[in-house]
Amino acid sequence: MLAKRIIPCLDVKDGRVVKGISFVNLRDAGDPVECAKAYSNAGADELVFLDITATIEARKTIIDLASRVAKEVFIPYTIGGGISSLDDARAILEAGAEKISINTAAVRNERLITDISKAFGNQAVIVAIDALRRENGWEVFISAGTEPTGLDVIKWAKKVEKLGAGEILLTSIDADGHQTGYDIELTAAVCDAVSIPVIASGGAGSPEDIYRVLTEGKADAALAASIFHYGKYTIGQVKEYLHKKGVCVRK
């Protein structure tokens, strides 16, 4: 049976792992390769690295990171942040990453989704969608959650699937960093709208939050950062909880 995935997310800035609270207030929490090895050993199903300071000068740093992780860690990992061209994606995938994630660039240049998907297969392309709750649904935000786009999240999710995305990484801006639970309604609405896998993100504070988003929220995977980074729960504890509740996980 296909297992639900638990994915720790490592925000990377200047080669170090940090975690923002609602995209601000950064704290340093370690070396990315060491974190990746530790999470892989702890039972993480996948890893996501988000380069939150992806400037042009920083591109080489993230490619170097992709390559160092590939030599040490033998589970899939995704790199996102600042990827704005097919060449950017190529450099990271050829360094050894399994997938890339694009967000702002996908909104600004929809063709990029198709181009990367055609070159590397749709399984290599995650479109990250940052969603903010509005009166009638959710709006897509870009530029690390700072810039509204006027796009409806559900419509955009359907569109990125058509354009060649293999997976959606869906973050609730409202819930992110608060550790009070995922936006279940948002996650379920997107999962119902598309037939590609959806990774839920933003708001994990307890194993029960993860359980809810994987069941009521219908997500295929749950991404979390703070609850793992600061040792509140181990991945093993979360998987044990899910297993006892009847969710299929890899143990």
Partner 1 sequence: MIAIVDYGLGNLKSILYALERLGQEAIITSSREEILSADGIILPGVGAFRRGMENLNKTNLTAVLKESVKADKPILGICLGMQLLFTRSSEHGRSNGLNIIPGRVEKFGAGLKVPHMGWNQIHKTRPSSLLAGIPEGAFFYFAHSYYPIPADAGVSVGVSEYGGQFASAVEVGRVFATQFHPERSGNLGLHVLENFCKICRKS
**115 part of the active site:** no
Provide the minimum distance between the beta carbon of 25 and partner 1 in the complex, in angstroms, as a whole number: 32
Token duo for residue 1: 């049976």
Residue of 51, 88, 130, 209 marked active site: 130
Q: 207-215 vs 184-193: helix axis angle to the nearest 10? A: 30
Question: In this chain, which of 214, 221, 224, 235 binds partner 1, going by CB under 8 A?
Answer: 221
> Which residues in 59-88 contact partner 1 (CB under 8 A)?
67, 70-71, 74-76
Distance of CA 143 to the CA centre of its chain: 15
Question: In this chain, which of 80, 81, 166, 181 binds partner 1, going by CB under 8 A?
Answer: 166
Provide the minimum distance between the beta carbon of 2 and partner 1 in the complex, in angstroms, as a whole number: 5
Please list the alpha-helical segments (H only) found in the chain: 32-41, 59-72, 86-95, 104-108, 111-120, 153-163, 184-193, 207-215, 226-229, 235-244
Element (H, E) at 12: strand 5-13
Question: In this chain, which of 31, 96, 114, 193 binds partner 1, going by CB under 8 A?
Answer: 96
**206-239 core/surface letters (b: 16 or more CB in 10 A; e: else):** bbebbbbbbbebbbbbbbbbbbbbeeebebeebb
**11 part of the active site:** yes
Measured over all CA atoms, what is the biggest interatomic distance in the chain, rounded to whole angstroms? Answer: 47
Token duo for residue 180: 């009070």
> Which residues in 107-146 contact partner 1 (CB under 8 A)?
119-124
CB-nearer residue toward partner 1: 12 or 222: 222
Stretch binding partner 1 (CB under 8 A), from 2-10, 106-114, 180-188, 235-243: 2-10
| Angle in degrees, CA 33, 204, 176, rounded to 5 | 90
Residue 250 binds to partner 1 (criterion: CB under 8 A): yes
Inter-residue contact 86 to 119 (CB < 8 Å) = yes
Residue 2 binds to partner 1 (criterion: CB under 8 A): yes
CB-nearer residue toward partner 1: 121 or 236: 121
Interacting residues toward partner 1 by CB under 8 A: 1-5, 40, 45, 67, 70-71, 74-76, 93-96, 98, 119-124, 166-167, 195-197, 220-221, 250
Catalytic residues: 11, 130
